[in-house]
């Protein structure tokens, strides 16, 4: 157990809909990262928040947005969903920026029908 | 554009023998490399890393080798154990703060008794 929690575990929805994925980092961790893993693909970095502020962006679609709240939990919002958005979405947290200290949650599996 | 490539989707090794997982990268700006291990229904967990100023890093049964001229890194596991069966991802960063980790597609390692 990494200490990072993600809800929900599974999400099934239809095209055109909007969903929110939630991540609670480990206690004391200020950084939250979001990654997408599509079928047979590696993890794709989406976005990084540090203490409530956006710090880095990857190839995140404009239909996707994220935020980190004062209690440090983070939400990833996916809107106008398409079939291709079906993937595993992981969040990771770290107390600082060091890569070996990124702790991953178990992921949310999103299925868009 | 796949900047980090793991060309072997799967690898099968006998228990007690050496497992060698390979990873190639194209971006010469990458200067920090990591290996993550992932079990089903769990997020990736950090295994070992190496900075570009080194060509080898060892941690117990795990050794990572970096060949910068060939833009190639490998993970050696000796001796291989059944618990090592998992998907292994290599990842790279253009700075040690790793705000953007670029992952390979993963290699599924199976250790046979």
Q: What is the pLDDT of residues A43-87, one digit of tens each?
A: 899 999 999 999 888 889 999 999 999 999 999 999 999 999 999
Q: Are A92 and A104 in contact (CB under 8 A)?
A: yes
Q: Looking at the DSSP assignment, which residues form a beta bridge with residue B30?
A: none
- Whether the pLDDT of residue A21 is over 80: the answer is yes
SS3 call for A63: coil
**DSSP tag of A45:** E
Q: In the structure, what pLDDT confidence band is assigned to residue A99 with cuts at 50, 70 and 90?
A: low
Q: In the structure, what pLDDT confidence band is assigned to residue A102 with cuts at 50, 70 and 90?
A: confident
Q: Which of B99, B102, B104, B108 to mutate to test the interface with A (most CBs of A within 10 A)?
A: B99
Q: What is the pLDDT of residue B94?
A: 83
Average pLDDT over residues A89-113: 88
Q: What percent of chain B has pLDDT over 70?
A: 95
Q: Are A46 and A66 in contact (CB under 8 A)?
A: yes
User: Which two three-digit tokens encode residue A72?
Assistant: 């440090």
Distance CA A49, CA A72 (A): 9
Distance CA B38, CA B84 (A): 10
Q: Which residues of chain B have pLDDT under 70?
A: 1, 95-99
Distance CA B65, CA B32 (A): 12
Q: In the structure, what pLDDT confidence band is assigned to residue A1 with cuts at 50, 70 and 90?
A: confident
Chain A residues whose beta carbon lies within 8 Å of the beta carbon of residue B106? 42
Is the minimum CB–CB distance between B66 and chain A shorter than 8 Å? Answer: no
Q: What is the pLDDT of residue B95?
A: 65
Q: Which of A101, A110, A106 is nearest to A24 (CA)?
A: A106
Residue A95, number of CB atoms within 10 A of its CB: 14
Q: What is the pLDDT of residue B97?
A: 59
Q: Which of A87, A92, A88, A62 is nearest to A77 (CA)?
A: A62
> In chain B, what are the helix, strand and coil shares in percent, each to the nearest 5?
5, 55, 45
Is B34 close to A100, i.e. CB distance below 8 A? yes
């Amino acid at each position: 157990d990494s200490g990072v929690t993600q809800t929900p575990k599974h999400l099934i929805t239809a095209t055109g809909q909007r969903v929110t994925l939630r991540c609670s980092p480990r206690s004391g961790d200020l950084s939250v990262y979001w990654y997408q893993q599509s079928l047979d693909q590696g993890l794709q970095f989406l976005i990084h928040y540090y203490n409530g502020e956006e710090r880095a962006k990857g190839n995140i679609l404009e239909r996707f947005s994220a935020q980190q709240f004062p209690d440090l939990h983070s939400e990833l919002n996916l809107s106008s969903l398409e079939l291709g958005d079906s993937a595993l979405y992981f969040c990771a947290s770290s107390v600082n920026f060091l890569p070996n200290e990124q702790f991953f949650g178990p992921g949310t599996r999103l299925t868009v029908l | 554009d796949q900047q980090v490539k793991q060309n072997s989707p799967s690898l099968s090794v006998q228990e007690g023998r050496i497992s060698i997982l390979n990873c190639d990268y194209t971006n010469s700006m990458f200067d920090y490399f990591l290996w993550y291990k992932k079990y089903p229904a769990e997020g990736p967990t950090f295994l070992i890393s190496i900075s570009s100023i080194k060509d080898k890093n060892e941690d117990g049964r795990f050794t990572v080798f970096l060949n910068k001229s060939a833009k190639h890194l490998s993970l050696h596991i000796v001796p291989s154990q059944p618990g090592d069966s998992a998907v292994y991802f290599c990842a790279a960063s253009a700075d040690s703060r790793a705000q953007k980790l670029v992952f390979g597609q993963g290699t599924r390692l199976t250790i046979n008794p």
